Amino acid sequence: MTSVNNKSNQKPSPYATLAAIFAIFLIILGLTGYYIVKKEIENDIKNLLQLNLSANLTALKSWIDDKKQDAKTIASEPGLLQVIHSIMEIPKLPNLSKIQI
């Protein structure tokens, strides 16, 4: 009984108190750090997604413009235009079959 009473009456060791405070500090620090890092990563991801979207958009526009330009270039060739115009005149003829066209 004496030993039990002695144990219960013992003050906690200063090392144990320090360790507990340090552990709580570490948990708070960890959670805060986690929150900050998470926010940073979220921002980074957001930026990355925006950047990626923007890059894709630029590439897409460029590609579309290229294709458009290709189409315009081809369509503006005089020889081809002449052929096209001549072809365009054919449907005006009556009862022209598919094969004829």
Partner 1 sequence: MRKRLTAVCKLHNFLGFVLLNEKGLQIAALFEDPIGKKRLVEQSSFQLSLEGKTVISHPFIATIDLPDKKNKWLPNQPTMFVSTPIKNSAGKITGVLSFRMRPEEGFSKIMQVSRFGKTGETYAFNQKGDMLTDSRFNKQLKLLKLIPDNSNSRSILKIKIKIPVGFNRLTQNAIHGETEENIEGYINYRNISVVGAWTWLREFDFGIGTEIEYQEAFSLLRDLLIIFFLFFIFLILASIIAFNYRNNQIKIKNELAGINLQLQKKFQEAQSAKEALSITEFKAQTIVENLTEGIVTIDSNGIIKSFNSAALKMFGYSRKEITGKNVNILTPEPHKSLHDDYIKNYLATKIPKMIGLGRQMEAIKKDGSTFPIDISISETVLNNEHIFTGIIRDQTQYRRAEEAEKANQAKSEFLSRMSHELRTPLNAIIGFSEVIFYNAKEPLSSSQKKNLNHILKASQHLLELINDILDLSRIDSGKIRLSLEPINMDQLIKDLSNLVYPMAEKEKVQLSLSEINSDIFVLGDKTRLKQSILNLLSNAIKYNRPSGQVSLKVIRVPNNRVLIEVSDTGIGIPNENFEDLFKPFNRLGADRSEIEGTGIGLAITKKLVELMNGSISVESDLGKGANFLLIFQLQTILFRQQMKLILKIKNFWILK
CA distance 8 to 11: 8
Tell me the residue type at 49: L
Interface with partner 1 (CB under 8 A), residue from 21, 24, 28, 75 = 75
Burial bucket for residue 27 (CB in 10 Å: 0-12, 13-18, 19+): exposed
Report the residue count for the chain: 101
- Rg of the chain on CA atoms, in Å: 40
98 binds partner 1 (CB under 8 A): yes
Provide the mask over 5-34, with x wherever binding to partner 1 is found by CB under 8 A and - wherever it is not.
----------xx--x---x--xx--x--xx
36 binds partner 1 (CB under 8 A): no
What's the token pair of residue 46?
A: 């957001």
Residues that bind partner 1 (CB under 8 A): 15-16, 19, 23, 26-27, 30, 33-34, 37-38, 41-42, 45-46, 48-50, 52-53, 55-57, 59-60, 63-64, 67-68, 70-72, 74-75, 79-81, 83-85, 87-88, 90-91, 98, 101
